[in-house]
Each structure stands twice: as C-alpha cells, then as structure tokens.
Structure 1
Amino acid sequence: MFSSLRKLEILSVAHFHHPPGLHPKPRIIAKDQLCIELVTGGRGWIEHENDWVEVNPGALLWNGPGEYTIGRNDFENPYRCLSVRCRYQGRFQRATPRITKWDDLDSVRQFTDQAVRLFYEESFNVELLTGRIMGELQFRAGYYAWASDRQEAPKPLLLAQQAIERDYAQPLSVEDLAELSGWSAPHMHAEFRRHFGESPHQALIARRMRAAKVQLAATNNPIKQIAVECGFSGASAFCTAFRRQTGVTPAVFRQQQQHGAR
C-alpha cells in the first residue's frame, strides 16, 4: 500500500463501534503514523480531496500523515470499523488510492475478529501478527486497485477479456473476439493492447499457461492431456510455449512444484 516504508510497528488494533446520534471527532494522523480503517458495518463519511465521501461495509481507508479518520456518522445506522494504527520509519509515499474496498464481507468480519483477538493475545508472536494484518490489508487494497483499473476498459474489451477467461480452452482468434464485441479485428487488437498492455493472443496464452500450471502442480495427468485441455494444439506446441515463458519444461516445473525445487 505504501512504498519506501521500512520498519513498521502496529500500535493498536480495535473494532470500533460508533454510537448512534453522534458524529465522531476525526483524528489527524501524525507524520510518522498510518491509520487503516476497515468498515465492517453501518455508514459513515470521510473527508477526502475537499469533499465528504460516503463509506460503507468493506470500505478500506488508508489514512496517512496529515489526513483525518472517519469524520461523520449515520445517526440511525452508525458505522463500525476495524482500526489499525501503525508507526513507520521511512518515506511516506502512497502506492494505491487512499480509499479502496474489500468486497467479501464475510471474510472482512472473520479477519477483523481474528486481528483483534490475536492483538490482545500476549503469547502470540507480534512480528507474525504484523505480517498477517498488513499483508492481508495491502493485498486487498492492491487487488481492488488492480481490478478497478481493468474494469475501466470499454465494455467490448471487457467482453473479450471475459471470453478469454471463460473459453481459453477453445480455439479463439482476434477475429472471434472482435465479432463478439462488435469491433473490427485491427481495432480490437490495438485497443486491447492499449488498455491491458498485451495483445489478445498474449492474454489467451497467459490464461492457458495459468490453467496448465494449476494442473501440473496438482495432478499427474499426462502432459499431452493437459496441453489439449488447456487449449494448445498438442504437446509439442505446449512444451515450446511453456519453456519460452518459464525457462523450464512442463515436466521440470511439475517436479519443482510437487517435490520442491532442487
């Protein structure tokens, strides 16, 4: 979430329940601290870029030095949030948007319960807990920012992307994707590369490779079978493409994943 931060120390972890009928008193963040707020219920507002932004369950707020915590409350549906306050060493530099989201509310609640419980469990390793809390929160923020960037693409490109994700094992050409989206093949190719940084064919091969790696790591299916099931024309084409991407053959990759690299 934040780059150029060296040592990080969690100062407090609390599941805050704001009372109804009152606004909170927002807290300004000190120059060497961060305060991450993960909304678990209710509704509130946070001041951001000279405006008040509504925050609902799943909202993940990364408040850096000089910024304020949640400052307004829904009187009838008061917000609740996990608050993680940290001290850091290093230079503050935001790497993803201040306001992101964690969409799976069941896992939000489970994570909140675990974080609070273990923070007050004196026998639990502090460094391990810090890694768990900050790693999960940074992953959720980064994933949301990544997914949001891809969702901003035009609908025809999203349709093409969905087709690659869903039908990667089938023969798919740029012409097929263009027909699906209603664009010409050259326009589809150019716009796909402009928005996603790769051609439709490269995205298709990457999706097939991902499916193949899953099978290689988890099964003993023959290489030829995996190649066909993942959309390659045969074992030879699959092995060539696999070695080009990974530097090893499918058989060596399987051995590394199933028995450990040697």
Structure 2
Amino acid sequence: MSPLKHLHVFQSLHSSPNARLQSGAELGDGLAAAVWSNHHDARDYAAPSHHTLSCYLAGGTGTFRRENPHRKGAPDKLCILPAGHQSAWVINGAIQLAHLYISQEQFALAAVHLLDREPRELELREGTFLDDAQQAQRFRQLSQLDWQEPAERLFSSSLAHDLISHALLSQVGRREGLRLNGGLAPNRRQQLRDFIQANLAQPLTLGQLAGLCALSEYHFARMFQLSFGLPPHRYVLAQRLRHAQHLLRHSTLALSEIALSCGFASASHFSNRFRQAFGGTPGHYRASVQSR
C-alpha cells in the first residue's frame, strides 16, 4: 500500500479497479502529489481532511459531477477540492490527471505568510473545471519530474508551493458569519513574526515568545496555534528552513554558515532537518535552483 494511503482522495482512487497510479510521492511540508489514469469509473469524495488541487493532463471530455452532468472536463481544466467538501464524479472514457494534496497545516502556514491573515478567517473555495493556463503549466511541469530524484524532488516542492500560493491568491475568501474566539490580536501576531524573523539565528524559548504577549506559556501556545495554524516550535522551524532556502538560492555562503545563521547547531543538523522537509539535502537544493 502506498505511503499516501492516509489521504482520502488518494485512497478513493487507489481502491478503484479502473484507476492506475502512475506516480506518487510525499514532497514534504505536508504536501504530496500523484498522477493517475482512469477510465469508465465513478468516484465519491466525502469530507477529506486535506485540500486537493487537480489538473486534467489528457481526456476528461466525458467526465462530470453527478449534480451537474452537462458541464464536462477537458485537458488543462483545473479542480479545487477543499477539505471537508462532498463530491461525486462520473468518468466516461479515459483520463489522466495530476493531484496535489495539501495538509490543512500547510495551508494555514501559507495563509499566514502570503495573506497575513489568521487561517481560521479563510476558506479555500471549491472550483470545478476552471481555466488557468499558468496553473496548468505548473501541473504539467510537476507531472514530468522524477519525484524520487533529490534535485527534482526539490524542484517539485518549489512548484507545489507555487501552486498553493496561486490558489491562495485566486481561490480563497473570508468565511461568512465567522466569529473568532481566542487567538492573538493582529498587532501581536505581527510583533511575533517580526521578532522571530529577526532572531532566527538565536535559540528561542516558549517563555521568551510568551513574554512578548504577556501570557503564560500554556495560554500563549494555545493562542499561537489558533492564530498561526501551527504550534510555535513548528512555525519557527518553518521560518528557519524558509530563510535557509532564500540563502541557498541567493547567496554563496557555505552550508555551515547558513546553518548557524538560521539557528541550527551544526551543518549536519541543518542538513537532516532540510532533508526531512524537502526530500533532499541543502547542497542538492542549491544545485537544482542554480541550474534552472
């Protein structure tokens, strides 16, 4: 069984006798991708815990949602399936499609960074058979890469993040009738972001961050997660790795210098964390982005 079996949309296709997995991999950062072929099938998705972006690579002109049988797919058509949605699909003829699976935590982190908004305020809008040439081109690039090869795995991760960012800017809206309870005030969120960014090279403690907000460690940790979608230690690690990517891309600093400037105790610790997040070493990442 594939390591992606915990993903509802993936598992629904995996259980079909007509669908075939052509390639699939976890890309790190709460992201996973798959390319499928399928024919003459019917699939239902019931409240998945993850978001799914999809693109038809071939076929689809006989594919439709049961509630709207007159609207059909086609090559380069995009679908956006948010966590918690319900959908039922009929596939007539043969199709090939690419999927990007996004954890709600990664969506939350991207919302904080790109939109400077609390993730709880936002929802990913469902979309069926959308036209977006830029997104379709990213999907085609992604589907052609070898996700198991370290350098291409890192390029895959970059494309996946580009796909998320584009979806956030074009398909996200504010939840209607939302009343937020708990969480940090906007000025406190900004203060914390600025402080963390300015001190990535330093050891940070929960008490230190809580003190900025005049809260106990317990209440701060709870309110931080409500506001940022991640616990403090995971958020700080994500910022360190993001800063490391920037330095690898735009500087000639040695890996040991980058490790220290991003708050890692050693180059080996930095390399291990980077590999866990992105599927390849910092050296592979630098080589892949410089060759593009």
TM-score range, shorter chain: 0.3 to 0.5
Q: Which of these two proteins has the greater Rg computed from alpha carbons?
A: 1
